[in-house]
């Protein structure tokens, strides 16, 4: 879905480096999410934001931080990268209709991060 973009698409970095992954969306959605995907572990939620002033920790937030710069932008930072943060990272957005709790999430293309 070209409406949700992620940069970079691939990144190799060294242990201890700070790295930022960026997500932008043109769907006008309020809700944005960061997930991590490891083989055999599905999609694990790192952080999520229901609007610009709202940030919530997910299942695996340790070692990560986020910034919601605008409705359209949600960045994920690894303050000091370590090898076990090597994974595929997905950003997603959603916009549940009024009165419903949840609805379809639209994923970005993913960022493959390797920490050596």
Q: Choose, by CB under 8 A, the member of 9, 17, 18, 57 that binds another protein.
A: 57
Q: Closest Cα to residue 47, out of 30, 34, 29?
A: 34
- Residue choice 2, 10, 40, 98 for contact with another protein (CB under 8 A): 40
The answer to whether residue 42 forms part of the interface with another protein (CB under 8 A) is yes
Written as six digits, the tokens of 88 are 């595929």
Contact positions with another protein (CB under 8 A) in 70-99: 90
Sheet holding 73-78: strands in order across?
A: 4-7, 19-25, 73-78, 64-70
Residue numbers at the binding site for another protein (CB under 8 A): 1, 33, 35, 40-45, 48, 50, 54, 56-59, 90, 100-105, 107-110
């Amino acid at each position: 879905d070209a409406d949700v973009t992620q940069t970079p698409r691939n990144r190799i970095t060294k242990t201890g480096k700070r790295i930022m992954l960026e997500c932008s969306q043109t769907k006008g959605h309020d809700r944005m999410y960061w997930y991590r995907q490891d083989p055999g572990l599905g999609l694990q939620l790192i952080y999520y934001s229901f609007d610009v002033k709202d940030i919530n920790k997910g299942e695996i937030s340790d070692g990560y931080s986020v910034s919601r710069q605008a409705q359209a932008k949600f960045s994920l930072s690894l303050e000091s990268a370590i090898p076990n943060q090597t994974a595929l990272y997905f950003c997603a957005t959603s916009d549940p209709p009024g009165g419903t709790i949840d609805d379809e999430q639209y994923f970005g293309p993913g960022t493959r991060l390797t920490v050596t």
